[in-house]
């Protein structure tokens, strides 16, 4: 049985009910009002009232969806404006700087900047992972690092000793959209710091339209194993 490690620690303390609902939808995707109420320890009706108010502000929308037998259920999810409530760190300035560098110094200069950032990140992560022995310990440490940087990271254990590592938010999304070298550098770092005994493959990508980025981290087969 897979073990869910709260794809992110609870960050709802001190937030208003509306903010808690937005955060729950960001972290866990579309849900019904009753399921949101259960998750947030409020009634389903209280959750629905908050969702209606958020819909009036165009932060969420709803639709009917049939899952299994019975009547269709009403699901709620974030709109583009709702996602924008979770900021892209210095988005406009970053994109402007990338554009200026590209125009004045050329694409090669952008590549060198990304490579330098990649190496700096790799060095810092390796130092943080020093002493993390098992793959689970390494993944847990990576979750803490990425969450501290604003990625709302988390993980869950899946079949055959593998892990699903997720980032529910991308604080550099605008920069990554402008130059996808950032995404390439990111997965390179994950592969390097998690070790030669694992493979890392991206399974969901925000820039491809997914609500989050997700990576499957799989232990490499043991040589000589049947």
Check which CATH number belongs to the domain holding 175 and give it: 3.30.1380
Phi, psi angles (nearest 5°) of residue 133: -85, -60
Give all strands of the β-sheet with 31-32 in edge-to-edge order: 31-32, 73-78, 60-65
Query: Can you give the pTM of this predicted structure?
Result: 0.75
Percent of the chain with pLDDT over 70: 90
Q: In terms of domains, do 181 and 75 share one?
A: no
Q: Is the confidence at residue 87, as pLDDT, over 90?
A: no
Q: Per residue in 38-76, pLDDT tens? A: 999 999 999 999 999 999 999 999 988 877 677 888 999
Q: In terms of domains, do 158 and 174 share one?
A: yes
Q: In terms of domains, do 149 and 179 share one?
A: yes
Q: In terms of domains, do 24 and 78 share one?
A: yes
Q: In terms of domains, do 140 and 179 share one?
A: yes
pLDDT value of residue 166: 96
Beta bridge partners of 200: 217
Q: Is the confidence at residue 3, as pLDDT, over 50?
A: no
Q: Which helix (H) or strand (E) segment is 45 a member of?
A: helix 44-56
Residue 42: CATH number of its domain: 1.10.10.10
Beta bridge partners of 216: 164, 201
pLDDT value of residue 4: 41
pLDDT value of residue 85: 83
Q: In terms of domains, do 169 and 146 share one?
A: yes
Q: In terms of domains, do 158 and 58 share one?
A: no
Q: Is residue 52 in some structural domain? A: yes
Q: In terms of domains, do 129 and 213 share one?
A: yes
Q: In terms of domains, do 109 and 163 share one?
A: yes
Q: Per residue in 17-42, pLDDT tens? A: 899 999 999 888 889 999 999 999 99
Tell me how crowded residue 184 is: count the other CB atoms within 10 A of its CB. Answer: 13
The whole domain housing 184 covers: 91-219
Q: In terms of domains, do 111 and 202 share one?
A: yes
Q: In terms of domains, do 120 and 213 share one?
A: yes
Q: How confident is the model at residue 7 (pLDDT cuts 50, 70, 90)?
A: very low
């Amino acid at each position: 049985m897979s073990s869910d490690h709260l794809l992110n620690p609870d960050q709802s303390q001190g937030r208003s009910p509306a903010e808690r609902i937005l955060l729950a939808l960001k972290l866990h995707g579309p849900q019904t009002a009753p399921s949101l109420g259960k998750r947030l320890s409020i009634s389903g009706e209280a959750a629905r009232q908050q969702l209606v108010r958020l819909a009036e502000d165009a932060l969420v929308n709803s639709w009917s969806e049939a899952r299994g037998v019975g009547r269709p259920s009403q699901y709620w999810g974030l709109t583009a404006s709702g996602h924008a409530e979770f900021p892209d760190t210095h988005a406009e300035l970053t994109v402007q700087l990338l554009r200026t560098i590209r125009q004045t110094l050329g694409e090669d200069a952008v590549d060198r900047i990304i490579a330098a950032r990649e190496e700096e990140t790799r060095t810092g992560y390796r130092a943080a992972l020093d002493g993390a022995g098992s793959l689970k310990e390494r993944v847990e440490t990576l979750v803490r690092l990425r969450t501290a940087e604003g990625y709302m990271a988390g993980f869950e254990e899946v079949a055959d000793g593998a892990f699903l590592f997720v980032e529910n938010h991308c604080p550099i999304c605008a920069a990554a959209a402008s130059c996808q070298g950032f995404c390439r550098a990111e997965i390179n770092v994950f592969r390097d710091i998690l070790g030669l005994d694992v493979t890392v493959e991206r399974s969901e990508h925000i820039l491809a339209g997914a609500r989050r980025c997700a990576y499957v981290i799989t232990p490499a087969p043991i040589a000589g194993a049947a």
